[in-house]
Amino acid sequence: MTMITTTTSAAVKASYDIVPLPASVSMQKGEPFMLSSATRIVYTGSDEAIKRNAKFLADYLAQTTDIKLSTNAASGKAQKNTITLCTDSKMDEEAYRISVDKKGIVITGGSAKGVFYGIQTLRKSMPVGKTDNIELSAVRIADQPRFGYRGMMLDCSRHFFSVAEVEEAIDLMALYKLNRFHWHLTDDQGWRIEIKKYPLLTERGAWRKPNGQDASCLYQAKKEDNPDLLLPSDRWRTTAEGDSLYGGFYTQDQIREVVSYAAARGISIVPEIDMPGHCLSAIANYEGLSCFDQVGWGKVFTSPLCPGKDAALEFCRNVWSEVIALFPYEYVHIGGDEGEKDNWRKCADCQRRIAQQGLKGVEELQSWFIHEMERFFNAKGRRMIGWDEIIEGGLSKTSTVMWWRNWAPQSVPEATAHGNDVIYTPATPFYFSQNEEKSSMRQVYDYDLAPASLSAAQRAHIIGVQANLWAEGIPSRSRMLYMYFPRILALAELAWTQPAQKDYDDFYGRLRQQLSMLNRLGVPYRIPSLDGFHNVNAFTDKGTLTVECQDPQAVIRYTTDGTFPNAESPRYVGPITVDQTTPFTLRTFTPEGRADEMVQADFVKQGLLPALQSVPALNPGVKTDWYDFPGVTCRLITTAPFNGSYTTPDVVIPEACKGNIGLITKGYILIPEDGVYTFALLSDDGSWLKIDGNIVVDNDREQSPHEMVCQQALAKGYHYLEVRYFDHNGGVLRLNVLDPQGKRLDPQTIFFHAAEN
């Protein structure tokens, strides 16, 4: 006799508080559904994609829980204890509905894609961890996306990512309902896609000697004690001559594998073969592609393809013919960015083309090339996307513009007024290769994708948004996922959820459940920054370090001797009281021990700085001297020519100050009562704050907007104030002063300067 034993653990509850937030979640009265191995997945219709969806759900549950489900075609009769997958052609393709009651779960999609998204919602709602019994409250969910283009780009040229790594990224995109994978397959530093007609593109063009980008990864790895910045050993090969070369590429079979992997997850791939610039890995390996067969860098970018040579155009068409045959999708991406046109001015072939075609110059030669290629794509049934430089020299009616240049904001109004579709990817905040300081989760979440300055007709041409990961500084899978996550969740909600429903604090609350899931899936996400303290924390008697983290699983460790915290360092478990000056270095770790970012929190014991004995006659506001300062440290501002003086009510950049800016703001600050005051100094680039000649905030470096928050104990009365600041092209300067209770003081009541007599 066979004994069958089943163990049933206590039910774990699902929560529908997911990311991206669905259009409507309506909790229902009535008993919940209990999901267990006795449940079956059934699907209606004979659509292979639905069948695949059923298997996807069963596989996921088998991998992450103890629940094993069978999958079958529906028999016709309504059945109990089932998850039913079906479609309703009246719904939009990507829309879905979920209904849960005690009998089971029904997911209805506008197509197999909609069903797939319903499954993703279910997946994210379910608790992580081994269980054989999940309780799902009765609910009705109805959902559909805001935008049709919800993208993520990965640069596989600067550093290479394997098929498995690309597929993992695609899997995670699908979990968050992103639907376009923009694959940056070629660039100066490496050609990554096999082209049968031009084997040298990958035989040679996929391999390179170690370069400066590698070196800076290694430098940062050491500085930050971070192994994710090391280059994986399997990306190297040794030549017959004994040289070590870095690289890799995808064979056409591998590309087909990735295409089918993505398709099963509702994701279209947008292949980018960047041209006419960013093409060194081709130009270096085939003659006759560039103006003078010159391989290398021009003034700013590399020398481009030569649009004057028919053979170069033939090469482009041949490459794209093979690429198009591999990617059965609507869009292809031509690149078109950062073309250096100097060679074209000097090249006889380029000049002949300009004359023959009646073009005005090299700008129009670039658009002539782009339009030629677009005609070729259109003839093959494809639509073309290009970076927003494709506007310059004349935009075709049919191309789609990917806006990346924050400093060319006219691209969006121009392209949409011309009737072209636009995809938003402005570098700040959508270049996730930038750290969170420059492209924060909040900036991504709150980005306005329907600016009021555009007409309704123009806004209708904004088809979506994308996050871009350029890989110069990203050499490994773990660094790649770290830079995407969890920021990509903010992008997913921006792309999917209607603006009226969005709320950052609510999103941030929902993030916790998602972080647990990502942890379970082995995603090395960036642990959200620690809160609760300042850069410098002053106290007169005792100070208390309190640390908060949005990630409940994060382990926080610290040192007080300036060394990097490691797995043996003391663990922060609750507020720490100090009665002496103590420099804390805090670092987060995952439960598995992966070390994340470090942050400094200095606790400084101080007496109150005494107030000035006497002050001259004062007027409100502060006085600022402007120097024509091109340098990069506040210390040297007075060495530059003096430009003029301004009085302002607050510490700000006076309106007249443009170009090279070195500012010295002087005055008096009136402190209302004895106590510890907080000074938050934000600047792009550098700044410092001195009070009575003592440095209180040192933010003195070349940087994008960065806020330092430091405290100082001050006696009631007047104190000298000096703020210095430098920048070269229209930066940011802001000083907030908070009283001992944390309330912001009105600048009008605290800032003064000596009256002229």
Residues that bind ligand ACM (CB under 6 A): 337-338, 387, 404
CB 643 → Zn ion: shortest distance, Å? 45
In the complex with ligand ACM, the residue whose CB is nearer, 387 or 751, is 387
Q: Residue 34 corresponds to which tokens in the numbers above?
A: 């209990």
The span from the CA of 326 to the CA of 29, in Å, is 50
Q: How far is the CB of 491 from ligand ACM (least distance, A)?
A: 17
Contact between 100 and Zn ion by CB under 5 A: the answer reads no
Nearer to ligand ACM, 225 or 338 (CB): 338
Beta carbons within 10 angstroms of residue 512's beta carbon: 15
Residue 269 binds: one of Zn ion, ligand ACM, none (C-beta under 5 to 8 A by kind): none
**Which amino acid makes up residue 623?**
K
Q: Which residue among 347, 444, 601, 671 contacts Zn ion (CB under 5 A)? A: 347
How buried is residue 248: exposed, middle or buried, by Cβ count under 10 Å (0-12/13-18/19+)?
buried
Choose the one of Zn ion, ligand ACM, none that binds residue 154, judging by a C-beta under 5 to 8 angstroms depending on kind.
Answer: none
Instruction: Identify which of residues 91 and 408 has a Cβ nearer to ligand ACM in the complex.
Output: 408
Residue 404 partner contact from ligand ACM, Zn ion, none using kind-dependent CB cut-offs of 5 to 8 Å: ligand ACM
> Which residue's CB is nearer to ligand ACM, number 367 or number 537?
367
Reading the block at residue 24, the tokens are 């409507």
Binder among 141, 283, 289, 350 for Zn ion (CB under 5 A)? 350
What's the min distance (Å) between Cβ of 170 and ligand ACM?
21
Smallest separation, CB 404 to ligand ACM (Å): 5
Task: Indicate the DSSP class of residue 294.
Answer: -
> Nearer Cβ to ligand ACM, position 387 or 584?
387
365 binds Zn ion (CB under 5 A): no
E-state strands within 509-621: 536-539, 543-545, 555-559, 576-578, 582-589, 595-605, 618-620
Report the residue count for the chain: 757
CB contact at 8 A, 414 and 461: no
* 483, interface contact from Zn ion, ligand ACM, none, CB < 5-8 Å by kind: none
Among the listed residues 47, 171, 338, 698, the single catalytic one is: 338
Whether the Cβ atoms of residue 185 and residue 276 lie closer than 8 Å to each other: no
The 3-state DSSP class for residue 510 equals helix
**Segment lying near Zn ion (by CB under 5 A), choices 350-358, 435-443, 613-621, 696-704:** 350-358
* CA dihedral (321, 271, 377, 187) positive or negative: negative
Active site residue 278: yes
CB of residue 250 to ligand ACM, shortest distance in Å: 21
Give me the long-range contacts of 700-705 (CB less than 8 A, separation at least 24).
700/633, 700/634, 700/635, 700/724, 701/632, 701/633, 702/632, 704/428, 704/437, 704/438, 705/437, 705/438, 705/731, 705/732
Residue placing its CB nearer to Zn ion in the complex, 339 or 464 = 339
Q: Which stretch binds Zn ion (CB under 5 A): 120-128, 288-296, 514-522, 703-711?
A: 288-296
**Rounded least distance, CB 418 to ligand ACM, Å:** 20
Minimum distance of ligand ACM from residue 293's CB (angstroms)? 24
Q: Give the contacts of 486 (CB within 8 A, at least 6 positions apart).
A: 441, 511, 514, 515, 518, 525, 526, 528
Among residues 159, 182, 184, 278, the one annotated as catalytic is 278
Give the residue at shortest CB distance from Zn ion.
347
Q: In angstroms, what is the minimal distance from the CB of 337 to ligand ACM?
A: 4
- Cis status, amide bond into 276, omega within 30 of 0: yes
Give the footprint of Zn ion on residues 290-319 (CB under 5 A). Answer: 291, 306, 308
Choose the contact partner of 338 out of Zn ion, ligand ACM, none; CB within 5 to 8 A by kind. Answer: ligand ACM
**For ligand ACM, which is the closer residue by CB, 338 or 364?**
338
User: Residue 349 touches which of Zn ion, ligand ACM, none (CB < 5 to 8 A by kind)?
Assistant: Zn ion
| C-alpha–C-alpha distance, residues 116 and 179, integer Å | 11
Tokens coding 203 = 């035989």
| Token pair recorded at residue 110 | 């506008």
Q: Which does residue 414 bind out of ligand ACM, Zn ion, none, counting CB within 5 to 8 angstroms by kind? A: none
Tell me the residue type at 441: M
Tokens of 373: 């290629």
SS3 363: helix
Using Cβ positions, the residue closest to ligand ACM within the complex turns out to be 337
What lies within 8 Å, CB to CB, of 167 at 6+ separation is 258, 261
Interface with Zn ion (CB under 5 A), residue from 94, 349, 493, 596: 349
Task: Given the residues 187, 414, 596, 722, select the one marked as catalytic.
Answer: 187
The residue among 387 and 539 lying less far from ligand ACM, judged by its C-beta, is 387
Residue type present at position 491: L
Shortest reach from residue 359's CB to Zn ion, in Å? 13
Q: Which does 350 bind (CB under 5 to 8 A by kind): ligand ACM, Zn ion, none?
A: Zn ion
At residue 352, φ and ψ (nearest 5 deg) are -65, -45
What's the token pair of residue 332?
């292809």
Query: Which listed option, Zn ion, ligand ACM, none, makes contact with residue 291 (CB within 5 to 8 Å by class)?
Result: Zn ion
Closer to ligand ACM by Cβ: residue 269 or 527: 269
Does position 511 interact with Zn ion (CB under 5 A)? The reply is no
The Cα 301–Cα 299 span in angstroms is 6
Q: Biggest alpha carbon distance in the chain? A: 108
Residue 184's nearest CA partner among 362, 44, 46, 323 is 323
How do the residues of the chain divide into helix, strand and coil, expressed in percent and rounded to 5? 25, 30, 45
Beta bridge mates, 691: 694, 721
Which spans of this chain sit near Zn ion (rule: CB under 5 A)? 291, 306, 308, 347, 349-350
What are the catalytic residues? Answer: 187, 278, 338
